[in-house]
Amino acid sequence: MPGRIADVRLAEKGRLSFEWATARMPILGKIVSENKHSRPLAGMRLGFCLHVTKETSVLAMSAKALGAEVALCSANPLSAKNDIAAYLYSHGIRVFAWRGETRKDYQQCIDSVVNLKPEIVTDDGGDLHVACHKVGREQILGGTEETTSGVKRLLGLQSAGKLAYPVIAVNNARTKHLFDNRYGTGQSTFDGILRATSVLIAGKQIVVCGYGGVGKGVAARARGMGASVAVTEVDPVRALEAKMDGFSIARLADAAANGDIFITCTGQSGVIRKEHFVKMKDGAILANAGHFDVEIDAAYLYSSCKRPEEVRQGVERFSVKDKKLYLLSKGRVANLVLAEGNPPEVMDLSFANQLLCILHTAKNHGKMDAKVHEVPREIDDRVASHALAAMGVEIDRLTLEQKRYRNSSLS
Dihedral sign for Cα atoms in the order 320, 326, 330, 331: negative
234 binds ligand NAD (CB under 6 A): yes
Q: What's the min distance (Å) between Cβ of 128 and ligand NAD?
A: 15
Residues in contact with ligand NAD, shown as a per-residue x/- string from 295 to 334 under the rule CB under 6 A: --------------------------------------x-
Residue 66 interacts with ligand NAD (CB under 6 A): yes or no: no
Whole-number minimum distance, CB 294 to ligand NAD, in Å? 9
Residue 290 interacting with ligand NAD (CB under 6 A): yes
Which region among 10-18, 233-241, 361-369, 398-406 touches ligand NAD (by CB under 6 A)? 233-241
Taking the complex as a whole, the smallest distance from the CB of residue 395 to ligand NAD amounts, in Å, to 26
CA 224 to chain centre: 23
φ, ψ dihedrals at 256, nearest 5°: -55, -40
Among 17, 187, 266, 353, binds ligand NAD (CB under 6 A): 266
Residue nearest to ligand NAD (CB): 212
Note whether 213 binds ligand NAD by CB under 6 A. Answer: yes
Per CB under 6 A, contacts with ligand NAD among 146-175 are 147-149
The span of 57-65, 227-235, 391-399, 402-410 binding ligand NAD (CB under 6 A) equals 227-235
* Binding flag, residue 214, ligand NAD (CB under 6 A): yes
Closest contact distance (angstroms) between CB of 176 and ligand NAD is: 9
Q: HEC string of the chain?
A: CCCECCCHHHHHHHHHHHHHHHCCCHHHHHHHHHHCCCCCCCCCEEEEECCCCHHHHHHHHHHHHCCCEEEEECCCCCCCCHHHHHHHHCCCCEEECCCCCCHHHHHHHHHHHHHCCCCEEEECCCHHHHHHHCCCCCCCCEEEECCHHHHHHHHHHHHCCCCCCCEEEHHHCHHHHHHHHHHHHHHHHHHHHHHHHCCCCCCCEEEEECCCHHHHHHHHHHHHCCCEEEEECCCHHHHHHHHHCCCEECCHHHHCCCCCEEEECCCCCCCECHHHHCCCCCCCEEEECCCCCCCECHHHHHHHCCCCEEEECCEEEEEECCEEEEEEHHHCEHHHHCCCCCCHHHHHHHHHHHHHHHHHHHHHHHHCCCCEEECCHHHHHHHHHHHHHHCCCCCCCCCHHHHHHHHHHHC
Question: Would you count residue 291 as binding ligand NAD (CB under 6 A)?
Answer: yes
Q: Among residues 342, 353, 354, 361, which is the contact residue for ligand NAD, using CB under 6 A?
A: 342
Provide the minimum distance between the beta carbon of 65 and ligand NAD in the complex, in angstroms, as a whole number: 25
Residue among 26, 77, 118, 210 that touches ligand NAD (CB under 6 A): 210
Of 126, 142, 215, 343, which lies in the binding site for ligand NAD, with binding defined by CB under 6 A? 215
Quick check: 177 binds ligand NAD (CB under 6 A)? yes
Rounded-to-integer distance, Cα 385 and Cα 218, Å: 26
CB of 70 to ligand NAD, least distance (A): 21
- Nearest residue (CB) to ligand NAD, 111 versus 241: 241
CA distance 132 to 326: 37
Q: How far is the CB of 104 from ligand NAD (least distance, A)?
A: 23
Binding flag, residue 361, ligand NAD (CB under 6 A): no
Among positive and negative, which fits the CA dihedral 327, 332, 336, 342?
positive
Residue 62, interface with ligand NAD (CB under 6 A)? no
The verdict on 209 binding ligand NAD (CB under 6 A) reads yes
122 binds ligand NAD (CB under 6 A): no
Segment lying near ligand NAD (by CB under 6 A), choices 108-116, 264-272, 274-282, 365-373: 264-272
Q: Using CB under 6 A as the criterion, which residues of the chain lie in contact with ligand NAD when the complex forms?
A: 147-149, 177, 180-181, 185, 209-215, 232-235, 238, 265-268, 271, 289-291, 333, 335, 342
